[in-house]
């Protein structure tokens, strides 16, 4: 009897252990905990290249996983520790860089990218069917290099052209700089980079700015060619004199033989003005125009360049976060060009809160808007200029990309919202075209949002004008025509900055 009881006592633990073991094995084999979501700590990330060390090949390695802190939920999901990383929509592309990739991701199991230059891209971390997406901009804190741009490489004697600095990285903020000319007898340059031709020839224009608290100098040069004009004042100038000796105004080598005069007369080599505007045609075919003005009339220098012209192809605007506009006043008459008007005073007639105006005519923009600046001389002569200030756009990125649209189409994701009339009939459907760069603050007011999207042109391609159009509160809503769009189709549209930081 004792033996039997011992046998039972021994067998029971074995049965229990075996049963528990079988259950544990069954659970581990049959139950899979899936991933519900993957998220990053931010949707947009700006990385400064100077914060990383450049390797022997000139590349920088950036650990995005450490910066973005991906979170997988639930944390005990089977794939929680096996994220698959990828990047897409890299700009600039390898083709633009001569075949060298701007950014690569060597190992899909790690969120580490290798970049060769300033660029932007989307990084995606995926676990099973869940994924997180972030827009990454690789830039720098301060300007690293600069080049100078001009719409043409030349300017005529008496004419003016503005040189524009172009910075690397593109969104560098430069608020101070100086200009100089290698030959002021050929061309001069003012504090705004406006070059004025003085005599035929060429001159080297230099722009210098500083970084690292002034410790590092960044400079650029531009060789400007000055072409000859009929007169030393150019082909059009103002004069308070009504009788002008041709020998005093004609450029060297230009014959004084006159073919015709409109608005004046020639006698003994002297031009007499009979009207407010006189045009002279020389026997050589060259022409010049003289406009009569008062002796004490003053003007804002280069007003024709700085005054806002909405009809211009590339209107000048005063940009926020850039070098301030340094206005100067001078006598309007070309024959008083070497004199400085006495008792000059500057006044901000309108635009309070848009910009500040110093006592010596320096305009510093702080917000988007328009302003009127007036300058007055001691004798009462004055002049005004209308200016517009904006935040210029250095880089533009849409939240909607071809890659994301391709995924949406493959999954047949509905991304447009539908609008119905009072009878329940579908009238339209649409989608908001939003921007990743420049960034609109999450807490932006309606006014700030309107100003943000008002800085861009949203246009549907002409061939698709019957399918969709842009409208909505801020003009960035792509609205589809339900009668024209009855099945899957393609609508092409463009978004462009009204005020790009760099021409072209």
- pLDDT-based confidence at 470, cuts 50/70/90? very high
Question: What does the pLDDT read at residue 221?
Answer: 98
What are the tokens at 435? 């921007």
Sorting pLDDT into bands at 50, 70 and 90, what band is 132?
Answer: very high
> What stretch of H or E contains 203?
strand 201-211
- Is residue 190 within 8 A of residue 169, CB to CB? The reply is no
Residue 164 lies in a domain: no
Torsion angle, CA of 150/155/160/164, rounded to 10 degrees? Answer: 10
User: What are the structure tokens assigned to 102, written together?
Assistant: 């701007």
Which of these, 5, 125, 127, lies nearest to 63 by C-alpha position? 125
CB 243 within 8 A of CB 271: yes
- Domain hosting 406: range is 397-497
Contact 364, 324 (CB under 8 A): yes
367 and 325 in a common domain: yes
Question: DSSP for 128-181?
Answer: TTEEEEEEEEEE-SS--EEEEE-SSSEEEBT-EEE-EEEEESTT------EEEE
DSSP letter assigned to residue 95: G
Q: Are residues 14 and 76 in the same domain?
A: no
Instruction: Tell me the helix, strand and coil percentages in the chain, rounded to 5.
Output: 15, 40, 45
Q: What is the pLDDT of residues 180-226, one digit of tens each?
A: 999 999 999 999 999 999 999 999 999 999 887 777 899 999 999 99
Which CATH number does the domain housing residue 367 bear? 2.60.40
**What is the arrangement of strands in the sheet containing 112-115, beginning at the earlier edge strand?**
60-63, 112-115, 103-104
pTM score over 0.75? yes
Backbone angles phi, psi at 196, to 5 degrees: -120, 130
> Does residue 44 share a domain with residue 25?
no
> For residue 310, what are the contacts with CB-CB under 8 A and spacing of at least 6?
none
Q: Answer yes or no: do 334 and 270 share one domain.
A: no
H or E stretch including 470?
A: strand 468-471
**Stretch 276-280: mean pLDDT:** 98
Average pLDDT over residues 367-389: 96
Confidence at residue 4, expressed as pLDDT on a 0 to 100 scale: 42
How many domains does the chain fold into?
5
* Strand-pair category, 145-149 with 103-104: unpaired
Query: Which pLDDT does position 418 carry in this prediction?
Result: 60
* 84-91 and 119-127 beta bridge pairing: antiparallel
Residue 385 lies in a domain: yes
Same domain flag for 305 and 370: yes
Structure confidence by residue, pLDDT tens digits, 287-298: 999 999 999 999
Is residue 163 in some structural domain? no
At residue 340, the pLDDT reads 93
For 397-429, the pLDDT digits (tens) are: 888 776 666 555 555 554 556 665 666 665 668
Domain assignment of residue 216, yes or no? no
Among candidate residues 139, 170, 197, the one where a domain is terminated: 139
pLDDT at residue 504 in the model: 61
In this predicted structure, what is the pLDDT of residue 158?
Answer: 93
Asked if residue 211 is part of any domain, the answer here is no
CATH number at residue 121: 2.60.40.60
Q: Give me the pLDDT at residue 6, please.
A: 41
Cα separation, 156 vs 231, whole angstroms? 10
410 and 377, same structural domain?
no
Both 465 and 403 in one domain: the answer is: yes
Among the listed residues 48, 269, 242, 38, the one whose alpha carbon sits nearest the alpha carbon of residue 138: 48
Check whether residue 318 and residue 279 sit in a common domain: no
Pair 270, 343 in one domain: no
The set of residues, in sequence order, having a beta carbon less than 8 Å from that of 60 and lying 6+ positions away, is 49, 52, 53, 54, 114, 115, 116
Rounded to 10 degrees, what is the CA torsion of 235, 240, 241, 242?
A: 90
pLDDT > 80? residue 258: yes
Domain end call among 92, 115, 139: 139
Residue 278: count other Cβ atoms within 10 Å of its Cβ. Answer: 22
pLDDT number for residue 90: 93
Same domain (yes/no): 381, 455: no
Q: What is the pLDDT of residues 85-96, one digit of tens each?
A: 999 999 988 877
Count other C-beta atoms under 10 Å from residue 2's C-beta.
6
242: in domain: yes
Q: Give the pLDDT confidence score for residue 18 in this predicted structure.
A: 43
pLDDT tens-digit map of 7-60: 444 444 444 444 444 444 444 455 678 889 999 999 999 999 989 999 999 999
CA gap 283, 299 in Å, rounded: 32
Pair 43, 71 in one domain: yes
DSSP single-letter state for residue 228: P
Residue 120 lies in a domain: yes
Domain boundary among 392, 410, 429: 392
The verdict on 25 and 41 lying in the same domain is: no
Task: Judge whether 258 lies within some domain.
Answer: yes
């Amino acid at each position: 009897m004792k033996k039997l009881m011992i046998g039972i006592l021994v067998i029971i633990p074995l049965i229990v252990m075996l049963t528990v073991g079988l259950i544990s094995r069954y659970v581990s084999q049959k139950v899979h905990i899936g991933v519900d979501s993957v998220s990053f700590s931010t949707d947009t990330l700006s990385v400064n290249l100077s914060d990383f060390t450049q390797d022997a090949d000139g590349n920088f390695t950036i650990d995005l996983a450490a910066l973005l802190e991906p979170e997988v939920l639930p944390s005990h999901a089977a794939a929680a520790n096996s994220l698959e990383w990828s990047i897409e929509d890299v700009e600039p592309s390898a083709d633009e860089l001569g075949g060298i990739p701007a950014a690569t991701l060597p190992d899909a199991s790690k969120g580490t990218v290798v970049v060769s230059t300033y660029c932007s891209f989307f990084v995606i971390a995926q676990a099973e069917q869940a994924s997180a997406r972030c827009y990454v901009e690789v830039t720098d804190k301060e300007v690293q290099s600069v080049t100078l741009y001009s719409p043409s490489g030349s300017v005529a004697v008496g004419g003016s052209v503005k040189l524009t600095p172009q910075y690397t990285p593109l969104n560098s903020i430069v608020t101070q700089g100086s200009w100089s000319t290698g030959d002021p007898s050929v061309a001069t340059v003012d504090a705004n980079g406006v070059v004025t031709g003085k005599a035929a020839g060429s001159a080297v224009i230099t722009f210098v700015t500083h970084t690292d608290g002034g410790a590092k100098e960044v400079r650029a040069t531009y060789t400007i060619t000055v072409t000859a004009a009929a007169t030393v004042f150019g082909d059009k100038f103002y004069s308070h004199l009504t009788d002008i000796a041709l020998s005093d105004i004609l450029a060297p080598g230009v014959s004084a033989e006159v073919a015709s005069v409109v608005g004046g007369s020639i006698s003994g080599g002297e031009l007499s003005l009979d009207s407010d505007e006189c045009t002279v045609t020389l026997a050589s075919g060259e022409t010049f125009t003289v406009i009569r003005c008062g002796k004490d009339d003053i003007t804002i220098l280069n007003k024709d360049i700085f005054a806002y012209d909405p009809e211009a192809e590339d209107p000048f605007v005063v940009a926020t976060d850039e070098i301030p506009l340094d206005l100067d006043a001078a006598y309007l008459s070309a024959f008083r060009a070497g004199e400085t008007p006495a008792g000059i005073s500057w006044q901000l007639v309108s635009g309070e809160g848009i910009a500040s105006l110093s006592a010596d005519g320096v305009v510093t923009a702080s917000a988007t808007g328009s302003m009127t600046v007036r300058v007055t001389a001691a004798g009462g002569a004055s002049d005004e200029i209308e200016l517009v200030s904006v935040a210029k756009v250095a880089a533009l990125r849409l939240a909607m990309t071809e890659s994301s649209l391709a995924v949406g189409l493959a999954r047949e994701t509905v991304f447009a919202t539908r609008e119905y009339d009072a009878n329940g009939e579908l009238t339209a459907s649409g989608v908001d075209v939003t921007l990743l760069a420049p960034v609109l603050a999450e807490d932006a007011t309606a006014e700030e949002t309107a100003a943000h999207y008002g800085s861009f042109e949203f246009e549907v391609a002409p061939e698709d004008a019957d399918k969709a159009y842009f409208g909505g509160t801020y003009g960035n809503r792509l609205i589809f025509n339900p009668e024209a769009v009855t099945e899957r189709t393609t609508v092409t549209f463009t978004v462009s900055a009204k005020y790009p930081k760099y021409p072209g």
